[in-house]
Structure 1
């Protein structure tokens, strides 16, 4: 096994089933240095190469997760860029885009640069970081525009945040949508309505609220009021908008499947936990699945699946958001929102493939190709000659247990504990570097900063 770690620059993957660009084809794949060198049947190589037998396995482009929270700096008791990027790579995620609600919040480019410096030293996966919007830092938007090739986008919390990162002033939002030349990503929940519904819930139940009350407090109207407003702003100003973690049937008509993705100005994302859990799961998992926006009733989940498969929703992500076990054991009102998912997002979707809900080609489209197209990521997201060699080998004959021994999150818990996924990730390549193989990491090389064709 360890021979792979000593021949890091040239790999020949033989007789693999390549899932790429809407097809599954048997082929060989040659990785030379950081990039795919050749993709063809029966490749013969005269020079030294490390050969990997891919017979019976699948090769996917590396997963691009457009929404994660790795907590560094400021909350490193929950997670670090090092620990969570390792978990990402173990889950087949080769590139991620990380959110600004760290401490201090990343609302200035100087703070953002510190995160890039940490990642350059410690991230096993490729990386980019969002700048956070704020009511009182609009001058940063103009500075951000000059870095459109180097930064994934601007994140606006239109609800469900605190301090500098909550943008709830309408004139500020209009100025941001009018001036930002990078993709704007939004967390869409109406903060005023959340506060009102929380006040009503407390009037009825006092401090006895539980996680089961979460989807009532953060209901369909909370989401729709905000997302419809964001879409209206994007249409008014011609802004490139990507709406994150949709959760309701009500919102689906806001998005279109009528034009090619590369031509869309307004795109949408769904997260794996909203495709999997329903509100019924609060009775068993409680605060462990408390997240914002809330997991809702089963008919909303089915509407998300329908919109995903028909093309209204463009991207599948995780919104990986770890907290410590102790934090999650607090009463509902004190327990933080978010759950760790980046290690198991692909495996969960592969389980839905096994159950006939989604095809392998669609998984690759929504988790690899589409994030690359949405954000115009340079030379990634596809298995193409000359592209960076971000790739995952999946064994559909294997299984993956979810237990503490096999969890790489710093928080060391998962909502899927005691479950066994009916697939296994055997190898993960990050920019040509074999970063993970058969449960072992090779951290002799870190991931690279993502660049964008804008």
Structure 2
């Protein structure tokens, strides 16, 4: 028998409005939304009085480190952390070991997801300077996109051959997602500061080394290539104010060929935080100035930036506790992205409707995900029930990412994730997981 859940008296946040209603889940799907729903037969009733029901978040940029880097994280552990944070679907990056740059390796990764992931999953195909033939075999209906590192970042998958880039942008059968930082600019800056400090470069120089100029040079080149070839381009983790001028808000999202993403850490932190947070907020691209942060917020709220994601990228505490030149960039965020956004709501920076638009609806639209990202009859039941007024403090005891730390350690969030359904399965409730069913592979409705 298909399981049934009747969620009663929820404040449903969907498509720009909030309204009180009941919602019936049967099997994997939302089958009815309305007032005073009555159900025949056995049903598990959930009292959602005073709580808010959101679509499950779709995080379009995570690094779960499997295969090959499982001392940092695993698909199993990070998918659980995601679900506990209200992220019901993720799209994961190819800079693992071996790098996901052949169809065979991509297929193997999907098999790990099928066996281990509590959340719904998709995996990017990785591009290099010499695997164009493999990239072009990727099935647009079954894979979220092609990842291009236009800047080496973590894992040294730099694509810098001009001919390769032209061919990729010209022939890609689906969305290209790019990490944009100019490697030559960064290398020159790094050499300057190594000569001055050796390994002991102060962490507050990270945004100087991985500068706004390096970001803009690369992202503007990506935009120019996309316009030249009419490529479906998505630029990840915008970190500077100057880059926001590259994007448009005159078209509806469904008609955009060039889109952009902002990440939680670039919305939350600024360069003033390096004094206290140091390596724990070392990301690529770097957290930059408060003015850059303000400009990213402006672009997010006026729809030049389309999506909110995390770039969840764990490293161990031991790895992070190295001097600047050896401390890797990246950190865990997927468990705390929704509660961080809800803190912004409490601060009056963003509405609940806009959070849902940017973290749920927009990723579904941008990647053309099949029947997810919205609370609609007939759609998959990926749902998050939140209590906006149930504070909790982040501590090592409640951090679920395998690395065991968080840049939010010690912070008290104002809201809590109470229950999470993944494809109709109540995967998380009141701090406990039900792992009897795994998440589903995402599919994509592309022409």
Alignment TM-score, normalising by the size of structure 1: 0.97
The equivalent position to 1:254 in structure 2, one of 242, 246, 270, is: 246
Name 2:8's counterpart in structure 1. Answer: 14
In 1, Cα distance between the equivalents of 2:357 and 2:211? 30
Summarize the Cα distance change of 1:162–1:408 in structure 2 as closer, same or farther, 3 Å threshold.
closer
CA distance in 2, matches of 1:408, 1:162: 23
Aligned counterparts, 1:93-112, within 5 A: 93-112=87-106
Task: Tell me the equivalent position of 2:347.
Answer: 355
Cα deviations by residue, 1:176-235 (Å, 9 ceiling, x for unpaired): 000101100000000011101111122222332021110000111000000000000000
1:387 CA displacement: 0.3
DSSP-derived class of the 2:265 partner? helix
What is the aligned counterpart of 1:390 among 382, 395, 409?
Answer: 382
Indicate conservation of the 8 Å contact 1:125/1:448, yes or no: yes
1:167 to 159, 170, 180: 159
Is 1:304 equivalent to 2:296 in the alignment? yes
CA deviations on 1:221-270 (whole Å, 9 max, x unpaired) are 00000000000000000000000000111111100110100000000000
The 3-state SS of whatever aligns with 2:137 is helix
Q: Which residue of 2 aligns with 1:4?
A: none
Provide the secondary structure at the position in 2 that maps to 1:409: coil
Given candidates 251, 263, 275, the residue that maps to 2:255 is 263
2:146 and 2:289 mapped to 1: Cα distance?
A: 30
Q: Is the 8 A contact 2:127 2:147 kept in 1?
A: yes
1:67 matched to 2:76? The reply is: no
Deviation for aligned residue 1:116: 0.5
Output one character per residue of 1:357-399: Cα deviation in whole Å (capped at 9) or x when no partner.
0000000000000000000000000000000000000001212
What is the CA RMSD across the aligned residues, in angstroms?
Answer: 1.0
Separation of aligned partners in 2, 1:168 and 1:62: 36
Matched, 1:293 2:280: no
- Unmatched segments (≥5 aa) in structure 1: 1-6
| Paired residue secondary structure (1:282) | helix
- Deviation (angstroms), 1:47: 1.3
Contact 1:8 1:433 in 2 (8 A): no
Aligned match of 2:31: 37
- After superposition, give the CA deviation of every residue in 1:138-191 in whole Å (9 maximum; x if it has no partner): 1112211xx110000000000033776210111110110001011000000000
The answer to whether the Cα contact below 8 Å between 1:89 and 1:343 also exists between their aligned partners in 2 is yes
Quick one: distance in 1 between partners of 2:156 and 2:337?
Answer: 30
| Separation in 2, partners of 1:213, 1:333 | 11
Is contact 1:141–1:179 with CA below 8 Å preserved after alignment?
no
Which TM-score applies when normalising by structure 2?
0.99
1:65-87 CA-partner distances (Å, limit 9, x unpaired)? 00000000000000000000000
Q: 1:10 and 1:262 mapped to 2: Cα distance?
A: 33
Shift of 1:283: 0.8
State the partner residue of 1:78.
72
Pairing partner for 2:198 from 189, 198, 206 = 206
Q: 1:193 to 1:207 in 2, by over 3 A?
A: same
SS in 2 for 1:413: coil
> Which region of structure 1 is more displaced relative to structure 2, 192-201 or 311-320?
192-201
The aligned residue for residue 123 of structure 1 is 117
CA contact (8 A) 2:95 2:154 kept: no
CA contact (8 A) 1:105 1:164 kept: no
What secondary structure sits across from 1:72 in the alignment?
Answer: coil
Q: What SS does structure 1 have at the residue aligned with 2:81?
A: helix
Matched, 1:181 2:173: yes
The CA distance in 1 between the partners of 2:52 and 2:158, in whole Å, is 43
Runs of 4+, deviation exceeding 2 Å: 160-164, 203-208
1:107-133: CA deviation from partner (whole Å, max 9, x where unpaired) = 111101111001101000000000000
Which stretch shifts more, 393-402 or 377-386? 393-402
In 2, Cα distance between the equivalents of 1:169 and 1:91?
39
What is the aligned counterpart of 1:338 among 326, 330, 345? 330
Q: Deviations over 1:415-443 (max 9, x none)?
A: 11111100010000000000000000000
Q: Superposition pairs for residues 128-147 of structure 1, below 5 Å?
A: 128-144=122-138, 147=139
Instruction: Determine the C-alpha separation between the residues in 2 that align with 1:375 and 1:9.
Output: 29
Task: Tell me what 1:450 maps to.
Answer: 442
**Structure 2 unaligned regions, length at least 5:** none
Is the CA contact 2:53–2:384 (under 8 Å) kept in the aligned structure 1? yes
| Number of the residue aligned with 1:50 | 44
